[in-house]
Amino acid sequence: MISRKYHKLVFSFFMALLMSCIMSFVISLFNVGLVTNIITVWLKALGFAFIVAFPTVFLVSPVVHKLVSLVLHEEEGNS
Protein backbone atom coordinates (compact mmCIF):
# COMPACT_ATOMS: atom_id res chain seq x y z
CA MET A 1 0.00 0.00 0.00
CA ILE A 2 0.97 3.64 -0.44
CA SER A 3 1.83 5.80 2.56
CA ARG A 4 -0.79 8.30 3.81
CA LYS A 5 1.71 11.12 3.29
CA TYR A 6 1.00 10.80 -0.46
CA HIS A 7 -2.75 11.28 0.01
CA LYS A 8 -2.96 14.49 -2.03
CA LEU A 9 -1.00 12.99 -4.93
CA VAL A 10 -2.96 9.72 -4.96
CA PHE A 11 -6.30 11.57 -4.63
CA SER A 12 -5.35 13.83 -7.54
CA PHE A 13 -4.31 10.85 -9.66
CA PHE A 14 -7.57 8.95 -9.21
CA MET A 15 -9.79 12.03 -9.48
CA ALA A 16 -8.07 13.07 -12.70
CA LEU A 17 -8.16 9.53 -14.09
CA LEU A 18 -11.86 9.00 -13.44
CA MET A 19 -12.95 12.46 -14.57
CA SER A 20 -10.81 12.42 -17.71
CA CYS A 21 -12.09 8.91 -18.59
CA ILE A 22 -15.71 9.94 -18.28
CA MET A 23 -15.43 13.39 -19.84
CA SER A 24 -13.21 12.36 -22.75
CA PHE A 25 -15.61 9.53 -23.60
CA VAL A 26 -18.67 11.78 -23.45
CA ILE A 27 -17.00 14.51 -25.50
CA SER A 28 -15.70 11.98 -28.03
CA LEU A 29 -19.21 10.58 -28.46
CA PHE A 30 -20.59 14.10 -28.82
CA ASN A 31 -17.99 15.09 -31.43
CA VAL A 32 -17.81 11.99 -33.64
CA GLY A 33 -20.81 9.88 -32.61
CA LEU A 34 -20.85 6.13 -32.08
CA VAL A 35 -18.40 5.30 -34.88
CA THR A 36 -16.59 1.99 -35.30
CA ASN A 37 -13.27 3.39 -34.00
CA ILE A 38 -14.75 5.20 -30.97
CA ILE A 39 -12.44 3.36 -28.57
CA THR A 40 -9.36 4.57 -30.47
CA VAL A 41 -10.73 8.12 -30.62
CA TRP A 42 -11.58 7.98 -26.90
CA LEU A 43 -8.21 6.60 -25.80
CA LYS A 44 -6.38 9.28 -27.77
CA ALA A 45 -8.55 11.96 -26.15
CA LEU A 46 -8.13 10.32 -22.74
CA GLY A 47 -4.35 10.47 -22.95
CA PHE A 48 -4.42 14.17 -23.68
CA ALA A 49 -7.13 14.88 -21.11
CA PHE A 50 -5.28 13.07 -18.32
CA ILE A 51 -2.06 14.99 -19.02
CA VAL A 52 -4.02 18.21 -18.46
CA ALA A 53 -6.30 16.94 -15.67
CA PHE A 54 -3.72 15.49 -13.28
CA PRO A 55 -1.69 18.64 -12.61
CA THR A 56 -4.88 20.70 -12.69
CA VAL A 57 -6.56 18.62 -9.98
CA PHE A 58 -3.34 18.57 -7.95
CA LEU A 59 -3.09 22.38 -8.03
CA VAL A 60 -6.80 23.24 -7.75
CA SER A 61 -7.92 20.80 -5.04
CA PRO A 62 -6.65 22.91 -2.10
CA VAL A 63 -8.63 25.89 -3.43
CA VAL A 64 -11.73 23.72 -3.81
CA HIS A 65 -11.36 22.41 -0.25
CA LYS A 66 -11.20 26.01 1.04
CA LEU A 67 -14.25 27.02 -1.01
CA VAL A 68 -16.20 24.04 0.34
CA SER A 69 -15.23 25.02 3.89
CA LEU A 70 -16.51 28.54 3.25
CA VAL A 71 -19.84 27.31 1.86
CA LEU A 72 -20.59 24.65 4.47
CA HIS A 73 -21.35 25.35 8.09
CA GLU A 74 -20.77 23.13 11.10
CA GLU A 75 -23.83 21.27 12.35
CA GLU A 76 -24.65 22.01 15.98
CA GLY A 77 -25.03 19.04 18.27
CA ASN A 78 -22.88 16.59 16.29
CA SER A 79 -22.71 13.37 18.25
Summarised one tens digit per residue, pLDDT across range 16-69 is 999 999 999 999 999 999 999 999 999 999 999 999 999 999 999 999 999 999
The mean pLDDT value for 68-75 works out to 90
- Confidence band, pLDDT 50/70/90 cuts, at residue 79: low
Contacts of residue 32, Cβ cutoff 8 Å, sequence gap at least 6: 38, 41
Upper half-sphere CA count for residue 1 (Cβ side, 13 Å) = 4
Q: Residues 31, 58, 2, CA angle at the centre, nearest 5°? A: 115
Q: In the prediction, which pLDDT does 43 show?
A: 97
Q: For residue 28, count CB atoms less than 10 angstroms from its CB and return exposed for 0-12, middle for 13-18, buried for 19 or more.
A: buried
Query: What is the predicted pLDDT for the residue at 25?
Result: 97
Which ranges of 1-37 would DSSP assign to H, the alpha helix?
Answer: 7-32
At 73 the pLDDT is 86
